[in-house]
Structure 1
Amino acid sequence: MDERKRDSIVAYLRRRMAELGIEPSDVAASLAADQEKMRAARYRDASGNTWDGKGDTPQWVLQATSAGQSLEHFAISGTPEPKSGKHASVDWGNDPFAGSRLATNKMERLGAA
């Protein structure tokens, strides 16, 4: 995103916050509460629904376990590892298409030929 777009969005958000009476400390408190809730979660599904394992079982857990999925499938194991900007290295030596027309066309499209 270029700097002009960013500045425009920031100005819009500040204006809307002022109109609605929202202080930056309100936003910070809300974000902190959300992060605390996420740290307390023991189970999470692909949609981002979480459950701490206490209290009534939420509907998404009931549906998944009724369909045969185990609760352990949704267990959150520790803190997620931060993703680095680097891609994993690939061993192209075992490429089944190496030397074929598919590999050649792909290389031409990528501009590497």
Structure 2
Amino acid sequence: MDERKRESMIAYLRRRMAKVGMKAADLAAALKEEQLRQKSVRYRNAFGDTWDGKGGMPQWLQQATSAGQSLQHFAVIGSEKPAATAQRRSGVDWSKDPFAGTRLATAPRG
């Protein structure tokens, strides 16, 4: 996005926020709260339903596990304890892979 378009968007958002009585601090607090909530998510389905692993298991997850799906299938990457993650990893360090995230890494082989 070029700088002029960005500045125009910022000005538009500020006008809309002023119109509804919203302050930048309100927006910052809401974003921070959402980030904290997302960090606590341990399980998520394809529809965006989430569960932090506390309290009773939600109905969507109960139904899926009753149907034979494993709980690990819904686990959010990064929510596991580091020891458990390290145990499952192979001996290869893929963190320095120059093709990670590119088409070359996901192209079908054959």
Cα root mean square deviation, aligned:
2.9
Question: Which residues of 2 match residues 21-60 of structure 1 at below 5 A?
Answer: 21-60=21-60
Q: Residue 87 of structure 1: which of 61, 74, 99 is its match?
A: 99
Distance 1:59 1:8, change over 3 A: farther
Q: Tell me the residue number matched to 2:86.
A: none
How far apart in 1 are the matches of 2:3 and 2:48? 31
Moved over 4 A (4+): none
How far apart in 2 are the matches of 1:3 and 1:63? 48
C-alpha distance after superposition, 1:41-94 (max 9, x if no partner): 221223332211112322321232233211121123426xxxx9x634859xxx
Q: Tell me the residue number matched to 1:74.
A: 74
Q: TM-score normalised to the size of structure 2?
A: 0.63
* Amino acid paired to 2:20: L
* Amino acid paired to 1:69: Q
| Structure with more relative contact order (C-alpha pairs < 8 Å, separation 6 or more) | 2
Identity %: 56
When the two structures are aligned, how many residues end up with a matched partner? Answer: 89
> What is the deviation of 1:13?
0.6
> What is the deviation of 1:10?
1.1
Consecutive unaligned residues of structure 1, counting only runs of 5 or more, are 97-113
* Amino acid paired to 1:11: A
How far apart in 2 are the matches of 1:2 and 1:54? 44
How far apart in 1 are the matches of 2:63 and 2:13? 38
Asked which structure has the greater CA Rg, the reply is: 1
